[in-house]
Amino acid sequence: VVYLVVFHLSFVMFVWSYGKTIFTSPATPSNEFCLSKADKEQYEKEERPESQQEILRRAAKDLPIYTTTASRAIRYCDRCQLIKPDRCHHCSACDVCVLKMDHHCPWVNNCVGFSNYKFFLLFLMYSLLYCLFVAATVLQYFIKFWTNELPDTHAKFHVLFLFFVAAMFFISILSLFSYHCWLVGKNRSTIETFRAPTFRNGPDKNGFSLGCSKNLREVFGDEKKYWLLPIFTSLGDGCNFPTRLVIMDPEQLAVSSQNEPAKSSVANQSFPTRPLSESQNRLLSGDCQWVETGPEEENVKSG
């Protein structure tokens, strides 16, 4: 009875998480990040990148944007014709800008991002437990197979095949699940691991990290009773996130930026400075911890 209950429970949670990961549509930026009709027409008429950036900076002055491109330009998607929110990237497979995009997963034929990242993690976890459960229950028959204690029937080859498949999937999923657990603890996406987001004071791979506990709550929510259920409980709206730059003293940022040499002609441009309030995201409350900063290599592939 216990065997059947555990088997069916793990299978149901696995299928539920897998289905939510597949059928949850990627979250896209809200309309406030789209250019107005006049700005869009003016942007398309301009041929000089400097003039286009001036239009984008004017349109983004009231938006909660704290990251730029490596050349300190406003992140703009020509395909979707909108200003990209922080951590948003365009998916060439889905042909849409995805909020907090992690990667496009061919195994689920969907983008993994803000709307379904929790479901993806639970899918990996329950897949891991399901494979472990199958391998553990077949192990005794696998041992009998090698000791020639198993009856000489066609079923013994099925046992051998089932054990190897479950063990191989367990090892591969374990490595992937461990990697994403590390990403959650650091509050990074797969894209941000290869290409650190650029803030006002330069690239910072830990720019969105608020400490392991708050990073975990940002993905799974405040209610622990819902953490293991494939129900959306992530904090925020996907368009803006609490950052270390928001919490730091603006005067300190101004002093540090003056001490750094200019790297481009647009290094001294103005950036949107509207801060995030605690009502927008409860993760801003309390002290935040961080230790690392530094640029990373730019080499990102979908999937």
Tell me the two tokens of residue 93.
Answer: 């497979």
Report the alpha-carbon distance of residue 293 to residue 277 in Å, rounded: 24
Measured at the CA of 273, the angle between CA 244 and CA 52, to 5 degrees, comes to 120
Half-sphere exposure of 176 (CA within 13 A, CB side): 19
Judge whether 91 counts as a catalytic residue. no
Give the whole-angstrom CA distance, residue 214 versus residue 222.
Answer: 9
Tokens representing 60? Answer: 């983004």
Q: Are 86 and 67 in contact (CB under 8 A)?
A: yes
- Rg of the chain, C-alpha, whole Å: 24
Burial zone of 278 (CB within 10 Å; 0-12 exposed, 13-18 middle, 19+ buried): exposed
Whole-angstrom distance, CA of residue 73 vs CA of residue 76:
9
**In angstroms, rounded to a whole number, what is the distance separating the alpha carbons of residues 221 and 92?**
30
Q: How big is the chain, counted in residues?
A: 303
Please choose, from the candidates 22, 190, 191, the residue with its C-alpha nearest in 3D space to the C-alpha of residue 109: 22
- The catalytic residue among 94, 105, 239, 288 is 105
DSSP count for the chain of H helices, then E strands: 9, 8
Contacts of 213 (CB under 8 A, 6+ apart): none
Please give the positions annotated as active site.
Answer: 105
